[in-house]
Amino acid sequence: MEAEALHRPSLLPWFPQSITESRPVMESDPAERLVDPSSNPLRYPVDHVGIAVHSIEEAAALFENLTGERASPRQSLPDLGIDVCFVGAVELLEPHDRGGAVARFLEAGGSNLHHVAFRVEDVRVELDRLTAAGFRPIDRVPRPGAHGGLVAFLHPKGTGGALVELVERARPLNAP
Q: How far apart are CA 160 and CA 24, in angstroms?
A: 7
Label the pairing between strands 112-119 and 75-77. Answer: unpaired
- Superfamily in which the 43-168 domain is placed by CATH: 2,3-Dihydroxybiphenyl 1,2-Dioxygenase, domain 1 (3.10.180.10)
Task: Give the model's pLDDT for residue 39.
Answer: 53
pLDDT at 22: 43
Please report, for the chain, the start and end positions of each structural domain, with discontinuous segments joined by +. Answer: 43-168
In this predicted structure, what is the pLDDT of residue 139? 94
Could you tell me which of 77, 75, 95 has the C-alpha nearest to residue 85?
A: 75
pLDDT < 50: residue spans in the chain? 1-26, 29-31, 37-38, 173-174, 176
- With CA atoms as reference, report the closest residue to 52 among 95, 20, 15, 8: 95
Q: What is the pLDDT of residue 146?
A: 82
The whole-number pLDDT of residue 27 equals 52
> In sequence order, what are the residues at sequence separation of 6 or more whose Cβ sits closer than 8 angstroms to the Cβ of residue 64?
70, 71, 87
Nearest to 170 by CA among 132, 131, 144, 133: 144
CA nearest 120: which of 140, 87, 142? 142
Q: What is the pTM for the complete model shown?
A: 0.71
90-95 and 46-52 beta bridge pairing: parallel
